[in-house]
Structure 1
Amino acid sequence: RPAPPSPFLFARPAMRQRDLACHATADATTAPAPASTPDLTFYMKGSPEGKMLDCPFAHFAQLVLAHKGAPYTLVPTSPCTKPDWLLNDHEGKLPCLVTEDRATGARTVTTDSMAIAKYIDAELFPDVCPLAGAGYEEALQAVSPFFGAMAGFVKNNDPALDPEKEKALQEALDAVERRLQAQTGPYLCGETLTLADLSLVPKLYHAVIALRRFKNLDIYPFFLPRSEGLYVGESAEQLAARVRAAQSRPRLEEYMQAQFESKEFLDEQCFCAWEIVAQGWGKARGD
């Protein structure tokens, strides 16, 4: 399946050889799912017309599926199109993964993105690109303040509170940088890609877009949409300023560069266009 065009133009330093080698290893471990795979149906946030909307938690689970090479049916679901069984038996929670055994017809329903990710990794495809590497839970804990701090800042509409909320965000980003600086490899757990990485990366993607769109703050300078939007009319001086800002967290910049350009991240079944992400955060702000 061809990937959509990357929204990240190649106007920045090349990846380190270490990162390239690690990506080659990761690609080698991503194999097609076994023939005995059950039928998978993934329900996620969608429009009434059935179009996929922004959800970093669904994106996390989809990245796990992509790294496993697992085929699945995607069902974007709005509040008015949720099936009765989801509403009655699972409180309408999304995302939701339904597995159905092809031989017996037995169904398993799993909600909550982390529960889905662990189920895919440990129960469905334990031998394909294992993602529960040593230390991943500690890594999750180390970077967990980031998303809440980012969301609190983006959704804040009181300018007087912005400095306090931005400070919390910057401290959370510094914690991510420290975690990466402490590793010998390119991931949150060193040389091994884990669930911690796949949970964090969609949240970083949302942050890059929402912070630039609503707070005029850049944490990654190379997000340059090809269509009109976030950087219309930007001068060379403004671009240079964004580059300098990102260089204050060099490992985080490298990390985002590598992950945002991976074939799994850009898989057309799970990649969410930046315009949709921006629109979603606009609604969250009440704009």
Structure 2
Amino acid sequence: MSEPPKIELFVKASVDGESVGNCPFSQRLFMILWLKGVNFTLTTVDMKRAPDVLKALAPGSQPPFLLYNDDVKTDINKIEEFLEEKLAPPQYRKLCCRYKEANCVGEDIFRSFSGYIKNPIPGLNDRLEKKFLSKLVKLNMYLETPLPHELDQKPNATEYLRPYLDGDTLTLADCNLLPKLHIIKVVCKKYRNFDIPRELKGLTNYLDNSYKQDEFSYTCPKDSEILFAYQSVAKYLNK
């Protein structure tokens, strides 16, 4: 067995300068490393203090970035590809999806959410909410539509509720989407009193299953941290 790599993940710190801050990209990499089962060090970076570690290791960069042995990686997508290649079976779990659709489903939800939550005008709210809800419905339909291997296993089933995007285990696709869905859930409740409808069974089941996984639930920032990050951009509707 080869010598395990020395890995340090640098992520954005919270308001207190110590705990994990609101950053879906940081959480994405945190989840990947945890799911891989590799030993690594997590270092939070207080951006208000412009720490020397940034100047020394990744000048001009923002967290997250990765130190792999003595090699600094700053591009999130390339970090994901690098970790999947370097931390491979049989020693580490494979996390890539078997179905390419899993990688892009839900990719437009966050953009639609941003338009919805940043709008202060009551007259526009219904239209923006319907557009945002349509994106959630589309994701829900994907989660309720059987994948080829599920059809093979249960050809006569009338209802499919898949645990995760690509099947029965968390993958890179979940590491990308779940942190964004968590932000959406917290911010929409605060500023629009909007909850993801329980009628969307596929999506509800997906989130319920995901929150039971330590790799997701324990990497989420505190709700207060998310709301602090959004207080300058999210808008209450003007009466």
Specify the TM-score bucket, using the shorter chain as the normaliser.
0.7 to 0.9
8 Å CA contact 1:61, 1:114 repeated in 2: no
| Counterpart position of 2:174 | 197
Quick check: 1:85 aligned with 2:56?
Answer: yes
Q: Residue 278 of structure 1: CA displacement?
A: 1.9
Q: Residue 159 of structure 1: CA displacement?
A: 2.9
| Counterpart position of 1:280 | 229
8 Å CA contact 1:48, 1:81 repeated in 2: no
| Counterpart position of 2:126 | 163
8 Å CA contact 1:133, 1:192 repeated in 2: no
Quick check: 1:209 aligned with 2:186?
Answer: yes
Task: Identify if the C-alpha distance between structure 1 residues 177 and 51 changes in structure 2 by more than 3 Å, giving closer, same or farther.
Answer: same
| Counterpart position of 1:186 | 163
| Counterpart position of 1:148 | 111
- Picking from 62, 65, 73, the partner of 1:96 is 65
State the distance in 2 between where 1:180 and 1:285 align.
29
State the distance in 2 between where 1:286 and 1:150 align.
12
Task: Identify if the C-alpha distance between structure 1 residues 174 and 133 changes in structure 2 by more than 3 Å, giving closer, same or farther.
Answer: same
Q: Residue 167 of structure 1: CA displacement?
A: 1.9
Q: Residue 168 of structure 1: CA displacement?
A: 2.0
Q: Secondary structure at the match of 1:285?
A: coil
| Counterpart position of 1:54 | 22
Structure 1 unaligned regions, length at least 5: 1-33, 101-106, 220-244
Q: Residue 120 of structure 1: CA displacement?
A: 1.7
Tell me which amino acid in the other structure corresponds to 1:277.
I
State the distance in 1 between where 2:16 and 2:50 align.
7
Q: Secondary structure at the match of 2:111?
A: helix
State the distance in 2 between where 1:162 and 1:280 align.
22
Q: Residue 35 of structure 1: CA displacement?
A: 6.7
| Counterpart position of 1:264 | 215
Structure 2 unaligned regions, length at least 5: 151-161
> What are the superposed Cα offsets for residues 157-204 of structure 1, whole Å, 9 maximum, x if unpaired?
333332232122111101110110113342222345321112111111
| Counterpart position of 2:44 | 76
| Counterpart position of 1:39 | 6
8 Å CA contact 2:9, 2:41 repeated in 1: yes
How much is the aligned-residue C-alpha RMSD, in angstroms? Answer: 2.3
8 Å CA contact 1:94, 1:112 repeated in 2: no
Q: Residue 285 of structure 1: CA displacement?
A: 3.0
Tell me which amino acid in the other structure corresponds to 2:174.
D
Q: Secondary structure at the match of 1:41?
A: strand
Task: Identify if the C-alpha distance between structure 1 residues 197 and 120 changes in structure 2 by more than 3 Å, giving closer, same or farther.
Answer: same
State the distance in 2 between where 1:175 and 1:122 align.
31
Give the TM-score of the pair, scaled to structure 1.
0.68
8 Å CA contact 1:41, 1:74 repeated in 2: yes
8 Å CA contact 2:64, 2:76 repeated in 1: yes
Identity of aligned residues (%): 24
Alignment size in residue pairs: 217
Q: Residue 147 of structure 1: CA displacement?
A: 1.4
State the distance in 2 between where 1:280 and 1:53 align.
9
- Picking from 71, 81, 95, the partner of 1:118 is 81
Q: Residue 49 of structure 1: CA displacement?
A: 2.9
State the distance in 1 between where 2:176 and 2:82 align.
14
Q: Secondary structure at the match of 1:43?
A: strand
> What are the superposed Cα offsets for residues 79-124 of structure 1, whole Å, 9 maximum, x if unpaired?
5334213553xx3132111111xxxxxx222223332222222223
Task: Identify if the C-alpha distance between structure 1 residues 178 and 112 changes in structure 2 by more than 3 Å, giving closer, same or farther.
Answer: farther
Q: Secondary structure at the match of 2:231?
A: helix
Q: Secondary structure at the match of 2:232?
A: helix
Quick check: 1:109 aligned with 2:52?
Answer: no
| Counterpart position of 2:140 | 177
